[in-house]
Structure 1
Amino acid sequence: MLPRSLPRPAPPMAPLADLYHLTMAYALWRTGRHRDPAAAELFFRREPFGGAFAVGAGLGQALRSLGALRFSAADIAYLRSVLPSTTEDAFFDYLSTVDASEVTVTSVPEGSVVFSRVPLLQVKGPLLVVQLLETTLLCLVSYASLVATNAARFRLLAGPEMKLLELGLRRAQGPDGGLSASKYSYIGGFDYTSNVLAGKLYGIPVRGTVAHSFIMSFRSLEEVQPRVLSPLAGGKPMDLPSLAESWLQRVCELLGTPSDKPNRGELAAFVSYAIAFPQDFQGLLDTYCVMRSGLPNFCAVALALHQLGYRAIGVRLDSGDLIQQSKDTRRVLRACGAHFQVPWFGSIPIAVSNDISEQSLEDFIREGSEIDMVGVGTNLVTCPLQPSLGCVYKLVEVNGSPCLKFTEEEEKMTIPGIKAIYRLYDAAGHPFMDLMALENEPSPSVGQELVVHILGRRGEATKVRPSAVELLHRMYLRDGQVYEELPSLQEVRSHAQASLNLLSPVHRQLRDPQPYLVAMTEKLHLLLAELQHASQ
């Protein structure tokens, strides 16, 4: 493949940095070290939400951001106003030339299952540029990976059949957070979003139902305009409010519900919506009372539509005991389908919302609910169980020399050197270990006995023998040129589900999972020990 320059998105993102990156850049420039070859890696220290894995996301956007690494004249003018007055003019002249033309990036494919301490991506280039990219890359990868992981957990709990709708835009941290949440929830396994702009920008399927405000805005059937609807197959238009009213009498008789109990304003709202969307009619059942009003009214309108050749597409419950209400709703739908000889009626999809959490989904499954679709907002997009993934970006090599951050906290100690990352698989086809090696080490082979040191376990080396070996990182950018095409959002989503499916059940379980093993080779372990000794 011939190299191509990265597309430059708008707006330019070069100023998306913390101030100290600019002051350090000036200090490096003053000392003449700004062009020293360097390498850094981005990783997280602990798996989120008490699980054993995360889903790497935001990597495509991070790579695209490199195409925007250029300071405009307006950027330079602003930086002159915030950097100390002693900053030399020549530095700003140099800064106006900075771009990603000498940057090389390797990373895991977006959507991959990833683990703590293993680099999601590695960046090589001039020291000043490598350091300047830190906050931009952390900002674009950390939240994206957190939301994708949160979404994946919902998908694992829901199972493959239940549909998941992301509807968190109104709960998100601003419009940017809302768009990101929609995009990365889709990667994590959600089927739809309610976010129209996300649908437009990213091609995510968009779905929605009806709000309580629409139902409450009607008081009587006299407010319905227009009133007539033509049969699907053609023919004389019929007065739908009258038809629905007649069906309501029959439904109430079947259910043993007094015919004066269903709210006529609610019926009018359903009829109006049905006339507007006869092939996409759906009902929100809990504005007044599900069993005495919402459900009889819905069934009446849906049966009236059926008489004209149309088919209702679903109902939604948004309050109360969702599990019991779903069972009661299904029972009524089946009863109407059997009594009125409408076979499909009993299988009308039931959707629920109302502050759905992981615990809610577990309850739905355990109690055998009749729920077909779940809408999740706050507990998906805000990630309340863990508001940050805590990604870090650390220098690992300068001028060909590995470097180490030495600290008494083992968790915060970095692992030196530019690395090759391998995923080792067992005989069942499940990954059981990610192995970090120095870049110039020979690749491990299938069936080869490997001597490794598992992170977090002090002591002697361990021997493993993989049944399959995968080189985890791919080179996406080489000296500022596209080296491998970035996948589409749909391809990333499919890869995420395939990656999750490969996990062993002991690592995929969401409560008290078995920790996934991350290790380093003997050679990397010796380098780490050597640098630790030198630091002491």
Structure 2
Amino acid sequence: MSAQTRWRNRVPLLQVKGPLLVVQLLETTLLCLVNYASLVATNAARFRLLAGPDKKLMEMGLRRAQGPDGALSASKYSYVGGFDFTSNVLAGQLYGIPVRGTVAHSYIMSFSVLAEAQPRMLAPRAGGEPVDFPCLAVTWLERVCQLLHVPREGVSEGELAAFVSYAVAFPCSFQGLVDTYSVMRSGVPNFCGVALALAQLGYRAIGVRLDSGDLARQAAEIRRVLRACSIQFQLPWFEAVPIAVSNDISEQSLEAFGRELVQVNGRPRMKLTEEEEKMTLPGCKAVYRLWDAAGRPFMDLLALADESPPRAGQELEVWVLGGSPEALRVIPAAAETLHRTYFKDGQVCEPLPSLPEIRSHAKASLCSLGPAHKKLREPEAYQVAMTEKLHALLQDLRQASQ
């Protein structure tokens, strides 16, 4: 199947034909490449489904990844699965993934006083004479403290210096990490002071990041502050400044914010086990996706490679994997062939899609899936079935093994 195709377990994702020794040598490599990629992309897709289409998702797992190669793969396949950004700069350079990030807590803690903020001068975005940005930020910070009834002396000057230095270096992409010290008594006031000073010069801060504590509760408190500043200083866009949360984000916490060898020398083989999920299906197979009249996929059909492909409007007798032992009759409105030949006789047969193309196709594939299949809790199982001929072969091999 193409790299961007949504698929389900028990469906043969990849077919390798050749001398047995060569195929066995390839098996481990191919399984390694496919399993990790599909794991990360699937997990990313679940986060995207939970977050919805409009929220921005950023992958920041480099520090905790399984080595640098694992980190690059995780960044790449998180993007395929639906994430918008990565903090991995090398992944951005190699794959063209948009790079986003903030600063480390250690960076903020490296500053003690405002005098350490260098350089100091920042020109307005529209052009003109540069201004002393630390002084401008202090002026705005005092106004914010008055509005929020926060004691000015309790606001960390070192944190302010870090924010100012970051803003001068990256005025178009300033994002404040606000939980190094007190979130509401220092981090948020400092962020607002620097962001409002940038706004006076024609720039817009791109967000706030929280990395500890009760993320949902603090995000709500920060939103109230941004809204208050928006009203007080007549900046309508300010109340909608994005709030990013990080640190052990799971599906549950996010919710709080709203392949085997199958044929040798032409003879079918299968792996028999008491665990049906680990049992392979025999023979060289073709895979077809069946669509209903509403334009949604409702079943993936496994057939032997020498069978004629299903046609639109044709009644099919199929056996659902893991379902009833009785046959099921279905009539697809359309049928799509999923397997494609990319590499044959040592040559690439078809150009490989780019990463943006893979990502776009994966997104469209997920969107086409029915809502009942996309529920994160108790989803309706997407059906995978086999043709009468494949079912008969399976039964024959089972009986022969007894």
The answer as to 2:135 corresponding to 1:242 is yes
| 1:371 match | none
Choose from 254, 257, 260 the match for 1:393.
260
Task: Please state how far the C-alpha of 1:110 moved relative to its aligned partner.
Answer: 1.0
1:401 maps to amino acid: R
Instruction: Work out the CA distance in 1 between the residues paired with 2:135 and 2:274.
Output: 78
The answer as to 2:148 corresponding to 1:255 is yes
| 1:6 match | none
Instruction: Work out the CA distance in 2 between the residues paired with 1:344 and 1:229.
Output: 22
| 1:130 match | 23
| 1:310 match | 203
Task: Please state how far the C-alpha of 1:455 moved relative to its aligned partner.
Answer: 1.6
Could you tell me whether the CA contact under 8 Å between 2:314 and 2:332 is conserved in 1? Answer: yes
Task: Please state how far the C-alpha of 1:516 moved relative to its aligned partner.
Answer: 1.7
Q: Write out the 4+ residue segments of structure 1 that deviate beyond 4 Å after TM superposition.
A: none
Task: Please state how far the C-alpha of 1:151 moved relative to its aligned partner.
Answer: 0.6
After superposition, give the CA deviation of every residue in 1:250-301 in whole Å (9 maximum; x if it has no partner): 1111112222221111112212222222222221111111211111111112
Task: Please state how far the C-alpha of 1:168 moved relative to its aligned partner.
Answer: 0.4
| 2:344 match | 478
Instruction: Work out the CA distance in 2 between the residues paired with 1:112 and 1:348.
Output: 35
Could you tell me whether the CA contact under 8 Å between 1:138 and 1:393 is conserved in 2? Answer: no
2:232 maps to amino acid: H
Q: SS of the counterpart of 1:420?
A: strand
| 1:120 match | 13
Task: Please state how far the C-alpha of 1:223 moved relative to its aligned partner.
Answer: 2.0
Q: SS of the counterpart of 1:315?
A: strand
The answer as to 2:318 corresponding to 1:449 is no
Does the C-alpha gap of structure 1 residues 329 and 417 become closer, same or farther in structure 2, counting only changes over 3 Å? same
| 2:34 match | 141
Alignment TM-score, normalising by the size of structure 2: 0.95
2:401 maps to amino acid: S
Does the C-alpha gap of structure 1 residues 230 and 415 become closer, same or farther in structure 2, counting only changes over 3 Å? closer
- The range that moved more, 486-495 or 419-428, is 419-428
The answer as to 2:188 corresponding to 1:295 is yes
Instruction: Work out the CA distance in 2 between the residues paired with 1:163 and 1:244.
Output: 28
Please say which structure displays the higher CA radius of gyration.
1
The answer as to 2:58 corresponding to 1:165 is yes
Does the C-alpha gap of structure 1 residues 197 and 446 become closer, same or farther in structure 2, counting only changes over 3 Å? same
Task: Please state how far the C-alpha of 1:457 moved relative to its aligned partner.
Answer: 3.3
| 2:248 match | 355
Instruction: Work out the CA distance in 1 between the residues paired with 2:281 and 2:229.
Output: 65
| 1:276 match | 169
After superposition, give the CA deviation of every residue in 1:121-146 in whole Å (9 maximum; x if it has no partner): 11111222122211111111111111
The answer as to 2:98 corresponding to 1:195 is no
Task: Please state how far the C-alpha of 1:400 moved relative to its aligned partner.
Answer: 2.2
Instruction: Work out the CA distance in 2 between the residues paired with 1:320 and 1:284.
Output: 13
- The range that moved more, 135-144 or 245-254, is 245-254
Could you tell me whether the CA contact under 8 Å between 2:82 and 2:363 is conserved in 1? Answer: yes
Instruction: Work out the CA distance in 2 between the residues paired with 1:532 and 1:298.
Output: 67
1:287 maps to amino acid: T
Instruction: Work out the CA distance in 2 between the residues paired with 1:304 and 1:458.
Output: 67
1:487 maps to amino acid: P
Counting only pairs closer than 5 Å after superposition, residues 33-44 of structure 1 correspond to structure 2 as: none
Task: Please state how far the C-alpha of 1:450 moved relative to its aligned partner.
Answer: 0.8
| 2:272 match | 406
- The range that moved more, 526-535 or 208-217, is 526-535
Instruction: Work out the CA distance in 1 between the residues paired with 2:284 and 2:197.
Output: 68
Could you tell me whether the CA contact under 8 Å between 2:7 and 2:13 is conserved in 1? Answer: yes
- The range that moved more, 455-464 or 112-121, is 455-464
- The range that moved more, 399-408 or 189-198, is 399-408
| 2:4 match | 111
| 2:289 match | 423
Q: SS of the counterpart of 2:256?
A: helix
Task: Please state how far the C-alpha of 1:233 moved relative to its aligned partner.
Answer: 3.1
Choose from 408, 416, 432 the match for 2:298.
432
1:133 maps to amino acid: L
Task: Please state how far the C-alpha of 1:409 moved relative to its aligned partner.
Answer: 4.0
> CA-atom RMSD, angstroms?
1.6
Task: Please state how far the C-alpha of 1:236 moved relative to its aligned partner.
Answer: 3.3
Instruction: Work out the CA distance in 2 between the residues paired with 1:304 and 1:473.
Output: 56
| 1:380 match | none
| 1:500 match | 366
Does the C-alpha gap of structure 1 residues 454 and 218 become closer, same or farther in structure 2, counting only changes over 3 Å? same
The answer as to 2:120 corresponding to 1:227 is yes
Q: SS of the counterpart of 1:406?
A: coil
2:376 maps to amino acid: L
Instruction: Work out the CA distance in 1 between the residues paired with 2:4 and 2:315.
Output: 30
Q: SS of the counterpart of 1:393?
A: coil
After superposition, give the CA deviation of every residue in 1:214-236 in whole Å (9 maximum; x if it has no partner): 11111112222332323333333
Instruction: Work out the CA distance in 2 between the residues paired with 1:149 and 1:435.
Output: 21
1:497 maps to amino acid: K
Aligned length: 402
Instruction: Work out the CA distance in 1 between the residues paired with 2:193 and 2:326.
Output: 73
Does the C-alpha gap of structure 1 residues 230 and 515 become closer, same or farther in structure 2, counting only changes over 3 Å? closer
After superposition, give the CA deviation of every residue in 1:143-162 in whole Å (9 maximum; x if it has no partner): 11111101110111110111
Instruction: Work out the CA distance in 1 between the residues paired with 2:278 and 2:139.
Output: 71
- Structure 1, unaligned runs of 5 or more: 1-107, 366-391
Could you tell me whether the CA contact under 8 Å between 1:228 and 1:239 is conserved in 2? Answer: yes
Task: Please state how far the C-alpha of 1:341 moved relative to its aligned partner.
Answer: 2.0
Instruction: Work out the CA distance in 2 between the residues paired with 1:127 and 1:407.
Output: 22
Could you tell me whether the CA contact under 8 Å between 1:453 and 1:462 is conserved in 2? Answer: yes
- Structure 2, unaligned runs of 5 or more: none
Instruction: Work out the CA distance in 2 between the residues paired with 1:460 and 1:237.
Output: 78
Does the C-alpha gap of structure 1 residues 288 and 530 become closer, same or farther in structure 2, counting only changes over 3 Å? same
| 2:329 match | 463
Instruction: Work out the CA distance in 2 between the residues paired with 1:232 and 1:518.
Output: 57
1:423 maps to amino acid: R
1:232 maps to amino acid: R
Q: SS of the counterpart of 2:336?
A: strand
| 1:47 match | none
Q: SS of the counterpart of 2:154?
A: coil
Instruction: Give me the identity figure in percent.
Output: 70
After superposition, give the CA deviation of every residue in 1:388-437 in whole Å (9 maximum; x if it has no partner): xxxx422x222222223334444433221111111111222222211111
Does the C-alpha gap of structure 1 residues 469 and 251 become closer, same or farther in structure 2, counting only changes over 3 Å? same
Alignment TM-score, normalising by the size of structure 1: 0.72
1:126 maps to amino acid: P
Instruction: Work out the CA distance in 2 between the residues paired with 1:340 and 1:404.
Output: 70
The structure with higher relative contact order (CA 8 Å, sep 6+) is 1
Does the C-alpha gap of structure 1 residues 165 and 522 become closer, same or farther in structure 2, counting only changes over 3 Å? same
Instruction: Work out the CA distance in 2 between the residues paired with 1:413 and 1:282.
Output: 50
